[in-house]
Amino acid sequence: MRLVFPIVLTAAGCASSTPIDAARVVDLTYPFNDKSIYWPTAQKFSLTRVAWGHNDSGHWYASNDYAASEHGGTHLDAPIHFAPNGWSTAEIPVAQLIGPVRVIDVRRQCDGDRNYQVTVADIEAHETVHGAIEPGSIVLLRTGFGRHYPDARLYLGSDVRGSIEGLSFPGFGPDAARALVDRRVDMVGLDTASLDHGSSTDFAAHRIFCEANIPGLENVANLDRLPPVGATLIALPMKIEGGTGGPCRIIAFLPR
């Protein structure tokens, strides 16, 4: 199902719209700062103040430089991240970054297993209650690990920089990833640092999604504020030419 936003033209030919109800907008993005969660081997976010104050003419001027890996904080994985013929960040069609969102709640399973791999049965259990996942949907996993952000030890399982030993958090299992590809979803995501579970060494879910040109969202915030079905999501990453991912501002509109 592809979402359609109606545009109403006035007699003068100008677009007319009603104000956005702020109470229906949910920000699913963590702020970028020195506490942002990054992969242990990736360059973390840093901000350098270049100017901050009144200049010689008495006018205020402020400017910063920033540096970071593409993959950290709330961000998007482009298909080329794990598929040589996949889209780069700038090549992803904008329409694929907007759509109806499904939130699959697997908190109970993840509470019992930090490296839980979401299964086809989890997807089917969601569909039994909320209806079949339609083509064009965006599917997010609510693992409950968002409650630990930005504590790296609790969120990632380890706070040792430069080492991936000891990482433990939930992710998509390979069979679940294939099931969502079969359902022709537009995008996937979750409230952990990777589409794959923390102890993964082959990153199977990443490869399955990326080979199907399905982008992934990682470190998604505030999933507790979304219903299982009915919200609309917009995820707009920095448009990096040749990029393998990028920082992403993600918002959702709650159903009326």
Catalytic positions are: 81
The residue whose two tokens read 């039994």 is 128
**CA–CA separation, 196 vs 188, rounded Å?**
12
3-state secondary structure labels for all residues of 51-81: EEEECCCCCEEEEEEEECCCCECCEEECHHH
Region of residue 108 (left: phi > 0; alpha: psi -120 to 50; beta: else): alpha
Six token digits for residue 57: 């003419």
Q: What is the DSSP string of 104-144?
A: EE-HHHHHH-TT-EE-HHHHHHHHHHH-PPPTT-EEEEE-S
